[in-house]
Structure 1
Amino acid sequence: MPWPELLYAQVVKKTRRRRIVAVNRHVAIGTQAAVDQVLKAYGWVINTAFVERLNLSLRQRVAPMRRRSATSCKGEAGLDSQLTLFQVYYNFVLPHASLRQVLAEPVATNRRGSAKLWQPRTPAMAAGLTDHRWSLREVLMFRVPPWPQPQMV
Structure 2
Amino acid sequence: MKVVSGNPDPKHVSTSFVERHNLTMRMGMRRFTRLTNAFSKKIQNHAAMVAIHAVHYNFARIHKSLRITRAMAAGLSDHVWSLEEIVQMADSYMPKPAKRESRLQGARDRHS
Task: Establish whether TM, by shorter chain, passes 0.5.
Answer: yes
Which residue matches 1:144? 92
**Partner residue of 1:35?**
10
Using structure 1 for the length normalisation, give the TM-score.
Answer: 0.51
Distance 2:49 2:63 in 1: 21
Compute the RMSD of aligned alpha carbons: 2.2
Q: Deviations over 1:27-77 (max 9, x none)?
A: xxxxxxx634xx4xxxxxx53222122111111122221111121111211
Number of aligned residues: 89
How far has the Cα of 1:145 moved from its partner?
5.3
Match of 2:97 in 1: none
Identity %: 35
Structure 1 unaligned spans of 5+: 8-33, 40-45, 101-120, 147-153
Q: Give, in angstroms, the shift of residue 96 of structure 1.
A: 0.9
In the alignment, the residues of structure 2 paired with residue 86 and residue 67 of structure 1 have an alpha-carbon distance, to the nearest angstrom, of: 18
Cα offset, 1:141, TM superposition: 2.1
Quote the offset at 1:98 in angstroms: 2.9
Match of 2:32 in 1: 65
Q: What amino acid does structure 2 have at the position aligned with 1:144?
A: S
Structure 2, unpaired ranges of 5+: 1-5, 95-112
1:132 aligns with 2:79: yes
TM-score, scaled relative to structure 2: 0.67
Higher strand share: 1
